[in-house]
């Protein structure tokens, strides 16, 4: 059954149509990929699902309840948590403290939150860095921390915004394994991704966004062969001679 449903979601920035009538469903336990060229409106869509932006039209429904108008923390408290494309660790806090802030979403006492944070750090392979300051982390570790903080809130749905961007192939491989493990724990995942390898490896189904509109949907292997998708990614010129 559908856990998250978007219907006709639209957003304008001034005269620019950033997202236009996007509708899709995300089922409980699914791992759904959202791809598209730069500027296609992926992050804007994420902002609207997570409450940072309000759609100009359309509805977002989560677990049977409308989400539009709720603030991001409300949405997080209902079990849907997002990460940021550019990782935003709390720079002057330790890695443990960073994750504790996430964990405090489900418990009141710091002691319990520290225990949860410890488990999450173990799972995400950051345990050794628990005492390091956020600002001293390398890019791959920042990405992991971003994921760890989100996991600490105990989400039902995880919205991942380009967690692979800027990582080398080895690091990407490790993060893919980690996301698989997270998904294996029953967490529904919606991921925006630029790294095709990751999308292919992870997604059960893929949505393609171009100029703010959904242009394709289906299993990853089919979607990458779709003419419209190839055109969108390579530009119409390269697809031109074949038509």
Partner 1 sequence: MLRLGLGAVSGAALLILPFWIPSTWQNLLITTFYYAYLGQAWNILGGYAGQLSLGHAAFFAIGAYTSAVLASQYGLSPWLGMFVGAGLAALLSLGIGYLGFRFGLRGFYFILLTLAAAEICRLIALHLPILGGYTGLFINFTPNPWQFQFQGKIPYYFIALGFLCLACGIVWLVQRSKLGSYLVAIREDEDASEALGVNTFRYKMIAYALSAALTAPGGTFYAYFQFYLQPNTVLHINHSVDIMIRPIVGGMGTILGPVLGSFLLELLGEFSRTYFAAGVAGLNVVIYGVLLIIVVLFLPRGVYPTLVHWLRQRPGDSR
Q: Which listed range, 17-25, 28-36, 150-158, 199-207, lies at the site for partner 1 (CB under 8 A)? A: 150-158
> How far is it, in rounded angstroms, from Cα 232 to Cα 62?
30
Among 21, 56, 97, 125, indicate the residue that binds partner 1 (CB under 8 A). Answer: 97
> How far is it, in rounded angstroms, from Cα 159 to Cα 76?
11
Angstrom distances, CA of residue 5 to CA of 34, 42, 79, 221: 14, 16, 15, 24
Mask: binding to partner 1, 177-216, rule CB under 8 A, as x and -? ----------------------------------------
Q: Which listed range, 53-61, 62-70, 147-155, 201-209, lies at the site for partner 1 (CB under 8 A)? A: 147-155
Pair 93, 133: CB distance under 8 Å: yes
Q: Verify binding: residue 133, partner 1, rule CB under 8 A.
A: no
Among 120, 150, 179, 208, indicate the residue that binds partner 1 (CB under 8 A). Answer: 150
Pair 104, 114: CB distance under 8 Å: no
CB-side neighbour CA atoms (13 Å) of 121: 22
Q: Verify binding: residue 81, partner 1, rule CB under 8 A.
A: yes
The strand pairing partners of 133, in sequence order, are 94
Residue ranges in contact with partner 1 by CB under 8 A: 50, 52, 71-73, 76-77, 81-84, 88-93, 97, 100-102, 104-105, 108-110, 113, 134, 149-150, 152-153
């Amino acid at each position: 059954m559908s856990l998250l449903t978007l219907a006709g979601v639209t957003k304008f920035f001034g005269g620019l149509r950033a997202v236009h009538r996007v509708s899709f469903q995300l089922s409980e336990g699914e791992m759904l990929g959202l791809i598209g060229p730069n500027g296609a409106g992926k992050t804007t869509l994420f902002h609207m699902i997570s409450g940072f932006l309000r759609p100009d039209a359309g509805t977002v429904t989560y677990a049977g309840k409308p989400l539009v108008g709720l603030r991001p923390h409300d949405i997080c408290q209902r079990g849907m948590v997002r990460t940021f494309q550019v990782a935003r660790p709390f720079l002057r806090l330790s890695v443990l403290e960073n994750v504790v802030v996430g964990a405090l979403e489900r418990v009141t006492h710091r002691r319990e939150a520290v225990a949860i944070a410890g488990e999450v750090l173990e799972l995400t392979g950051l345990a050794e860095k628990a005492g390091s300051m956020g600002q001293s982390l390398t890019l791959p570790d920042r990405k992991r921390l971003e994921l760890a903080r989100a996991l600490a809130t105990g989400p039902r749905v995880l919205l991942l915004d380009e967690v692979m961007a800027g990582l080398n192939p080895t690091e990407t491989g490790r993060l893919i394994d980690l996301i698989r493990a997270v998904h294996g724990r029953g967490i529904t995942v919606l991921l925006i991704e630029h790294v095709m390898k990751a999308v292919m490896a992870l997604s059960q189904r893929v949505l393609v966004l171009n100029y703010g509109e959904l242009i394709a949907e289906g299993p990853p292997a089919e979607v990458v062969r779709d003419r419209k998708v190839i055109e969108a990614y390579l530009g119409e010129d390269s697809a031109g001679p074949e038509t």
